[in-house]
Amino acid sequence: MQVISRVLPLIGSLLFFLTFLPAAATDYYFHPRFGDDTNSGLSAKQAFQNLEKVKALPLKAGDRILLAGGETFFGSLELIGFRGEKNNPLIIASFGGSETDPISSRINAKGYLNGILLENSSFVKVENLEITAEGFGKHNSVGQMRVGVMIRASQNKGVKGITLNRLILSRIFFENPGVKRSYEETKSANGTQKYGWGIRIMNQSQDGIIEDIEILNSQISDLSHTGIKLTGNTNHNIRRIAIKGNKVYRTGGPGIQMSGVKFVYVADNEVMYSGSNDDGRKWGRGSGLWTWGSSMVLIERNKFMHANGPGDSAGAHIDFNCDNIVIQYNLSAFNAGGFAEILGNNYNCAYRYNISVNDGHRVKGENGAFQEGKIFWLSGYQGNKKERKGPVNSYFYNNTIYVSEGIVSKIAIDNRSKGILIANNIFHLTGKTELVSGDQYRPDDDSSRELDDVFFKNNVFLKEGLWPESALIQSDDTLFGDPLFMKPGGLNMADYTPQNSELVSEGIQIPFLAGDEFGLIEGLQVTKDILGNPISKNPGIGAIQPFSKVPESKRNTDEKTLIK
């Protein structure tokens, strides 16, 4: 009896433990040719066939949905109302090949609204899949857009912990071939017709938050509007987003665009040929990246090249209603709309330690352009129905701007700008320069006013007279001369290493603008230049420290490599 009395509590404890032990994760296999939806789905030989079957599965944290590698599934994979666990997400991936070299599965969502839909779902990882969705098909869903991967919150429970990794999204169009967009469509703010999008994150709930989302190592190309688009509200209900290591090419609209977001990190992406017009279904206008109504966004170590369009279409620009947007350590080249663009009602935004090559080459009135391209543009525009305002406390320092002969370098500064710092920049402008009006739908007024809180010092110009004399602000302590770049006009960042060290060695410490108690996220002083060289007490002038070494990783990158 004594033995039994001792054993019974142990048995009870064991039963209690087993009752609350998480159930083992389950793998569900899918094969579009050899599968059958009446199978168990629990092995490759017993695979399901159709993606629609996912809706009927009793999914739990840690489960995996595995699609046959090298095969094409027709339809849409939808996950609605699922919640995994932070350290035990649901995984959607392919099977086949090796662990280090898996074979991708393909989803053809022609006629469907989404290749993959993750709605009101949390803790999900999607990886190693290819998605296309070109126009209408036998299945025609009713809607306004076709999307490769849609992450959406429509309920207040929120969405959290989703990772998209190693995806390939291409040929995503709402319409079938043959559609031709009108010129007037490119003059609308974001397009008015039906388009195809790469990855969209949309918060349509009233109080829910979308947070902790990663978009990593993916390729997005050839679609009719934006490659990666985040759409939140004025309360910044999309937060803590990382967009890293992606290649976004030939999008009909912007490469990356975000509205109503907070705490976003964009790094190590290549965005090329945004605003592409090589297919009549494409919008034909778009910056490499732009922000609107966003807060606390750090954009660094990206390449923004060949943005096209009759308006906007800068490498990366800061649209109105933003605060604390920092654009640093980026290469910006051959973007029609320009290099630096900060619009109205923006606070504490910055371009620093970037290299710009032949940006702003667009000429108003040529090839349908309704805006001039500009290397530097501050505008108070904050919407057609609002009075111009700001921008307030705009920092522009230690950038290297190269413009070859034959391109007119244009500059626009709204007289409502308040707080402007321009310091330690190299303006290597070999052609003419011109002051132009800020022509964002409505031109700046012509009333004269003195700008407040301006710090415009210690910049290097190739020669005298390159900053327009009629500009509202003029530089003090200007230096003139040739920095002797290693290879001016090249597309390696290291090509802009200055050999004339004496000319560019005397940079100044960047001060707070008058009345600015915040400065910039991560501080005004940085510890390295665009090549990763450490910065001493003297920051030097331009994006690359004088006497700097060129890291091996920066030496062999040319345009051919970038567009593969």
Backbone angles phi, psi at 264, to 5 degrees: -120, 140
Q: What is the pLDDT of residue 97?
A: 79
Rounded mean pLDDT, 499-528: 94
Structure confidence at residue 561 as a pLDDT band (50, 70, 90):
very low
The residue type found at 352 is: R
Rounded mean pLDDT, 247-276: 98
Q: What is the pLDDT of residue 447?
A: 63
d(CA 209, CA 153): 8
Q: State CA 360 to chain mean position distance.
A: 20
> Could you give the C-alpha distances from 392 to 234, 317, 343, 416, 467, in angstroms and in order?
19, 15, 10, 9, 22
Collapsing DSSP to helix, strand or coil, 268 comes out as: coil
Asked whether residue 464 is assigned to any structural domain, the reply reads yes
DSSP code, position 481: S
pLDDT 10s digits, 215-257: 999 999 999 999 999 999 999 999 999 999 999 999 999 999 9
Asked whether residue 10 is assigned to any structural domain, the reply reads no
Other Cβ atoms within 10 Å of 269 Cβ, number: 26
The residue type found at 473 is: I
Tell me: pLDDT of 12 over 90. no
Q: Are 115 and 105 in contact (CB under 8 A)?
A: no
Show the tokens assigned to 277.
């017009």
More confident of the two residues 4 and 60: 60
Asked whether residue 20 is assigned to any structural domain, the reply reads no
> Which has the closest alpha carbon to 225: 184, 264, 186, 177?
186
Asked whether residue 364 is assigned to any structural domain, the reply reads yes
Tell me: pLDDT of 563 over 50. no
Element containing residue 170 per DSSP (H, E): strand 168-173
What CATH number should be reported for the domain holding residue 457? 2.160.20
Other Cβ atoms within 10 Å of 543 Cβ, number: 29
Rounded mean pLDDT, 525-551: 87
**Strands 418-423, 90-95: parallel, antiparallel or unpaired by DSSP?**
unpaired
Q: Which residue carries 């076709």 as its tokens?
A: 146
Q: Are 371 and 347 in contact (CB under 8 A)?
A: no
Secondary structure of 411-464 in HEC code, one letter for each residue: EEECCCCEEEEEECCEEEECCCEEECCCEECEECCCCCCCCEEEEEECCEECCC
Element containing residue 502 per DSSP (H, E): helix 501-504
Q: Which residue carries 């663009």 as its tokens?
A: 341
Q: Are 299 and 287 in contact (CB under 8 A)?
A: no
Torsion, Cα of 31, 33, 37, 38 (10° steps): -110
Which residues have CB under 8 Å from 444's CB, separation 6+?
A: 379, 380, 388, 412, 414, 415, 437, 438
Which residues have CB under 8 Å from 21's CB, separation 6+?
A: none
Asked whether residue 203 is assigned to any structural domain, the reply reads yes
Q: What is the pLDDT of residue 299?
A: 98
Asked whether residue 532 is assigned to any structural domain, the reply reads yes
Other Cβ atoms within 10 Å of 219 Cβ, number: 17
Q: What is the pLDDT of residue 18?
A: 45
Collapsing DSSP to helix, strand or coil, 52 comes out as: helix
Q: State CA 317 to chain mean position distance.
A: 11
Structure confidence at residue 10 as a pLDDT band (50, 70, 90):
low
Q: If 0-12 CB within 10 Å is exposed, 13-18 middle and 19+ buried, where does residue 156 land?
A: exposed
**Strands 355-357, 400-403: parallel, antiparallel or unpaired by DSSP?**
parallel
Q: What is the pLDDT of residue 560?
A: 41
Show the tokens assigned to 286.
């778009």
Rounded mean pLDDT, 165-178: 97
Over pLDDT 70: what percentage of the chain?
91
Rounded mean pLDDT, 404-426: 95
pLDDT 10s digits, 391-404: 999 999 999 999 99
d(CA 363, CA 409): 10
Rounded mean pLDDT, 475-503: 95
Collapsing DSSP to helix, strand or coil, 181 comes out as: coil
DSSP code, position 495: G
Torsion, Cα of 66, 71, 72, 76 (10° steps): 0
d(CA 152, CA 24): 28
Q: For 413, how many CA atoms within 13 A lie in the half-sphere containing its CB? A: 26
Structure confidence at residue 562 as a pLDDT band (50, 70, 90):
very low
Which residues have CB under 8 Å from 385's CB, separation 6+?
A: none
Asked whether residue 13 is assigned to any structural domain, the reply reads no
Asked whether residue 9 is assigned to any structural domain, the reply reads no
> Which has the closest alpha carbon to 461: 488, 487, 429, 433?
429
Domain count, the chain: 1
Element containing residue 290 per DSSP (H, E): strand 289-292
d(CA 238, CA 158): 10
Domain with 179 in it? 25-183+199-562
Rounded mean pLDDT, 123-149: 94
Q: If 0-12 CB within 10 Å is exposed, 13-18 middle and 19+ buried, where does residue 371 land?
A: buried
Collapsing DSSP to helix, strand or coil, 409 comes out as: strand
Show the tokens assigned to 89.
């997400």
Tell me: pLDDT of 549 over 60. no
- Rg, C-alpha atoms of the chain: 26
